Structure 1
Amino acid sequence: MSGNNLAEPLHAYFNDPLEADPVVIVGNGPVGIKAAQLLVAKSQDSKIVIFGEEREAPYNRVQLSQYLAGKVSEAELDNPLKIEDHSRVEQKLGHKIIAVDRQLKTVTDDQGNVTPYSKLILATGSQPVVPAIANVDLEGVYTFRTLNDTKSLINERSSASKLYVIGSGPLGLETAVAMKQPNNEVKLEVRSNLLNRDLGEQAQEVLSDYVKASGIEIVHHNPLAAIIGDSHIEQIELQNGERIDCDCLIICAGVKPSTFLAEKIGLETRKGIVVDEKMRTSDPDVYAIGECCEFDDMTFGIVSPGFSQAKTCVEHITGNFHSYFNENIHVQVKFNDYTTGYFGELLAEGSLNYTYVNRLKGVYRKLVVKNNLLIGAIIIGNWDEENEIKIAVKQKKKLTEKALREFEITGLIHQKPKQKLVEHLPRDYIVCLCEGVTRGELSRAITSGCRTVESLGEKTCAGTVCGSCKPMLMNLLDAPAPNLVMRHQKSILSASILSIILIIATVFFQPLSIAESVQFSWHIEKLWFDNFWKQVSGYSLLGLCVFASALAIRKRFKKFRVGHVDSWRYAHSIVGILALVMLMVHTGMRLGDNLNFALMAVFLGATLTGSLVGVFMARNHHWSDFKLRKHRLWWSRIHHTLLWMLPPLLGFHILSVYYF
């Protein structure tokens, strides 16, 4: 690239705007659209023509997995040009560029139209890596790259029963979790490591726990060898010869830069289209940005470097000679309710690692520090300080030895577990890392009339790329984030309501009556008066109470962490019903006196508050009001307090029965 001559800046072409040829952008993905917006902002007279191969209007590819998961609507994917003067920009949808004449400086699309250019920007993105396997073109075999791909997968999710996902990178993980439904089976092929081999063994284990708890089976080190079927996929065969029934195969095995057009017109390519620090290709009037380019022997499979490259490219075209440099990697996986990502340098020479692990809560946190400067981080599991950590990595913030030691104990940097309100953060605090939007810019937008996340996005672009900052936008707007749907929520709701009915029956109904007839040799009152049956029901009740405590044990001790916590909650609610029935048998629905009354009141109170917590948790995704969620917290605290009172009361009760 050192042989390139300095390209003449764009303003030299626009002495007479009516005569100037436009800047042509090939590719209308997020990076191409960003370049067009910057050109309009930086040059008063520039004309721009954008070619998009797909017929759909520009959309945000980064959030396709969120659309697949049902977390964003199709309308929220829209990525229109955010400019005031649209007269200078022409968008050509469904027009694929098939030829470029670098001598005449023209491009030709697949409909025969020839368009001249003053500067050409290639933002052709990347394409899926598809394994060289026979039958990969059968029906039921998909890649996941476009909006049409996403719509096809949404249709498959409702009909396919046995799905197999290839690829354990961010897209593969997001796809597997999004495709999982209660009535289907999803297997995820992992050739080496989940997400990134640099995460380390402990991080891999914690992330694997979450994937498995989501109902997804992980297939390790046994890659796909064959696809079997006539017109539609029926089975797959793995490397060890095992055959698996499969009616939907999704290939998320990575991407490679789209270099076909660049190669065809004679530009220098290796892994991608080779560019210099100004984003110029081997032709000084042709630029390449985003996932299609290669700079300093690196290619880029994420969008944020593409935005910086677009800025560098436009700065150079408009006569401001800004140089691009490789930035820290910032990768985030967007699961339903689980934060996962890594940022900055993970394996820097001379760096020290500080880790915090809590597998019980599904949390792994790692800080990479060099000379007391934070240069990298791994986050698996939710962390209130996540955004602060991202910014600290970007700014290489200095951390004290005391803070790092405390982090290894508590998992926190600032020792403030309560989330800070966004409105109290400094005005220059960066809320949206993808677009570099600060808290001050967002506050000004709110003051000017923006009252929703969508309108804030339109005004500032915050939250329009990866979407990970949307909870902070909601915090700033004082709008509650949507709650998550709990597993078995209908069953837990039913069990909780049944428990409340049984409690009401125990308290307000008449005690079970004593049989008056002497014609039967066995009477029901023996259950609560006969010493033997009294002990049977009493110890059965005690056993059920001990079994119900398994949920608390599961939460607090790693070795008991088997299965998903929602399944344990379901079992806990069923055991609660059985315990109530046994209590009714043991007491004959009599509340008792003195110590017995106190024990009965505490037991019923604990069961009632637990049932109310179950109702709140089962309906959590329908209630977004903060006060309702606070009610659940208070009922939980009362429930736990009453449960701690049960063991001593039970002990006194058993002692009094046997002693007296």
Structure 2
Amino acid sequence: MRLVVVGNGMAGSRLVSEVRTRDPHMKITVFGAETRHPYNRVLLSNVLAGSSRPEQVRLLDPAWYASHHVEAAFGDAVAHLDRDTRHVVTESGRREPYDLLVLATGSDAIVPPIPGVERAVPFRTLDDCERIIEAATSARKAVVIGGGLLGIEAARGLAGRGLPVTLLHLAGHLMERQLDVEAGEVLGETLNGLGVEIRTGVSASGVEENGVRLDAGELVEADLVVLACGVRPVTGLAAEAGLEVRRGVVVDDELRTDDPSIFAIGECAEHDGTVYGLVAPAWEQAAVAADVITGGKALYRGSRLVTRLKAKSVELAAMGETQLGEEHAEVVRFSHRARGTYRKLVIQDGRLVGAILLGESDAVGTLTQLFDRGGPVPGDRAGLLFPGLASAPVADSPTLMPDAAKVCQCNNVTKGQIRACWEAGARDVAAVASATRATTGCGTCRDAVEGIVGWLCEQEGVSV
């Protein structure tokens, strides 16, 4: 069996490692458009902020491919799919046969068609990140275009380097897909206090030598302009090959396209009308596809999304249907704008269908578990928002957290799995990460994993 994987980013590299774990003998060839080994794109904001080095966000060690008998071609993008002969053709002219093919081509940054946009730098790849860092060393002021997740992380990272930053956003409030109006406004006020000037409801008409020109004619001065205007699934190969493409490459519950020998996963795939732009669904899809490819039976039924903002001094988690109001659901809300705190629960039929937690909160773990499982919501709503005020301890404590509780959302790692690998000899976070992959996605579960490991060591009197 010859497996070819097109794309070696977060989805493609995970698929390759999942397949190799299940089948040590299958012939695997992976093609990556970038010359670099795969890296964690989610953690690029840490690189931009200076809290991580580029080598610290690598997903697979360069020696992994040879030791696991995987052929990897970096910097040689696939240019054509020949479905009749079952070959892929690369830009260098190489023809590689396949029995099964996986498309993991990801997304490209959206570049607005405005004059002078070539003066700006997209924030998408590690190369982009390094260009931004280099430009920031001599820049006097920066502008970031786009107030979604990436734009906010880029703006906060640059502000953390001491650079005055203005964030421009077309919508009326930040992260409008994940947050309601008040949460977006509170987030903007928090960022403003951290050195990021927020301008919402504005549109850029051009990038000039001295800054960004707005539609209204105003020039926002800057000598570094960063684009974070969203992403678009890379579907050209699939469309040219005659596969069904809508927003993404259409797949069924086995992640197969309408050609049963071709799969698609990650940001380029569209399942049940949804294209997911987060890492956890891509890794869930990789596991299902790997099962099917190696002869197992597995089905992908969609993912429940939890969005975490990774910006220093800004704590934000959003999940599910956050925009619903009182006319459609039970809404429990608390806001303290002076402290940058906003908390919201959206409940339907006694179950949590959405939540926003902005500002430091010890409720994130409990609410994420409730949302992920779809279990009934306790009657004490205030106790959910403010666990410290509840009469009984909450499940965030390692002592009371059930073994089935999911600790790492990106990799579906439970407390029970962490306990099991600890009992097998993993005595620190690095060892747990190696055994379970916990903390290797967005990284926001690291404190929880440290807490569980520390608690286990304390219970057994083990020194680390």
Decide: shared fold, TM above 0.5: yes
CA contact (8 A) 1:365 1:411 kept: no
SS at match of 1:478: helix
Residue number in structure 2 paired with 1:518? none
Counterparts in 2 of 1:127 and 1:221: CA distance versus 1, 3 Å: same
Residue number in structure 1 paired with 2:50? 70
CA contact (8 A) 1:384 1:419 kept: no
Counterparts in 2 of 1:73 and 1:342: CA distance versus 1, 3 Å: same
The one of 194, 201, 220 equivalent to 2:174 is: 194
The one of 119, 131, 134 equivalent to 1:155 is: 134
CA contact (8 A) 1:162 1:246 kept: yes
C-alpha separation between the residues in 1 aligned to 2:301 and 2:39?
27
CA contact (8 A) 2:38 2:60 kept: yes
For the pair 1:114 / 2:81, whether they are aligned, the reply is: no
Matches within 5 A, 1:1-20: 20=1
Per-residue deviation at 1:256?
Answer: 0.6
C-alpha separation between the residues in 1 aligned to 2:389 and 2:95?
58
Residue number in structure 1 paired with 2:373? 395
Residue number in structure 1 paired with 2:460? none
AA partner of residue 425 (structure 1):
M
C-alpha separation between the residues in 1 aligned to 2:162 and 2:315?
25
Residue number in structure 2 paired with 1:311? 287
CA contact (8 A) 1:384 1:417 kept: no
Per-residue deviation at 1:163?
Answer: 0.5
C-alpha separation between the residues in 1 aligned to 2:190 and 2:318?
17
AA partner of residue 334 (structure 1):
K
SS at match of 1:377: strand
- Greater CA drift, 458-467 or 272-281: 272-281
TM-score w.r.t. the length of structure 1 is 0.65
CA RMSD of aligned residues (A): 2.5
C-alpha separation between the residues in 1 aligned to 2:296 and 2:396?
39
C-alpha separation between the residues in 1 aligned to 2:261 and 2:389?
48
Residue number in structure 2 paired with 1:25? 5
Render the CA deviation track for 1:115-168: whole Å, top value 9, x for unaligned: 111100000000001100122113xx1001111111111122221111100111
Residue number in structure 1 paired with 2:363? 385
Counterparts in 2 of 1:436 and 1:96: CA distance versus 1, 3 Å: same
Matches within 5 A, 1:250-399: 250-347=226-323, 350-399=328-377
Residue number in structure 1 paired with 2:147? 168
Render the CA deviation track for 1:374-407: whole Å, top value 9, x for unaligned: 2221111111121221111001121233x11555
Residue number in structure 1 paired with 2:403? 427
Counterparts in 2 of 1:389 and 1:350: CA distance versus 1, 3 Å: same
SS at match of 2:296: coil
Per-residue deviation at 1:224?
Answer: 0.7
C-alpha separation between the residues in 1 aligned to 2:105 and 2:178?
29
Q: Work out the percentage of aligned pairs sharing the same amino acid.
A: 31
AA partner of residue 148 (structure 2):
G
Per-residue deviation at 1:197?
Answer: 4.7
SS at match of 2:450: helix
Higher strand share: 2
CA contact (8 A) 1:66 1:72 kept: yes
C-alpha separation between the residues in 1 aligned to 2:332 and 2:442?
28
Matches within 5 A, 1:199-598: 199-229=179-209, 234-347=210-323, 350-401=328-379, 403-407=380-384, 410=386, 414=390, 421-422=397-398, 425-478=401-454
CA contact (8 A) 1:356 1:407 kept: no
Listed as ranges, the gaps of 5+ residues in structure 1 are: 1-19, 480-660
Q: Which has the higher contact order (CA 8 A, sep 6+)?
A: 2
SS at match of 1:298: coil
C-alpha separation between the residues in 1 aligned to 2:78 and 2:177?
38
AA partner of residue 268 (structure 2):
C
AA partner of residue 191 (structure 2):
V
CA contact (8 A) 1:267 1:273 kept: yes
Higher helix share: 1
AA partner of residue 255 (structure 1):
V
Per-residue deviation at 1:342?
Answer: 0.8
Per-residue deviation at 1:369?
Answer: 0.9
Per-residue deviation at 1:421?
Answer: 4.5
SS at match of 2:338: coil
AA partner of residue 170 (structure 1):
L
SS at match of 1:422: coil
SS at match of 1:331: strand
Counterparts in 2 of 1:399 and 1:413: CA distance versus 1, 3 Å: farther
AA partner of residue 355 (structure 2):
A
- Greater CA drift, 258-267 or 164-173: 258-267
Counterparts in 2 of 1:415 and 1:110: CA distance versus 1, 3 Å: farther
SS at match of 2:347: strand
Listed as ranges, the gaps of 5+ residues in structure 2 are: 456-464
TM-score w.r.t. the length of structure 2 is 0.90
For the pair 1:61 / 2:61, whether they are aligned, the reply is: no
SS at match of 1:237: strand
C-alpha separation between the residues in 1 aligned to 2:391 and 2:91?
60
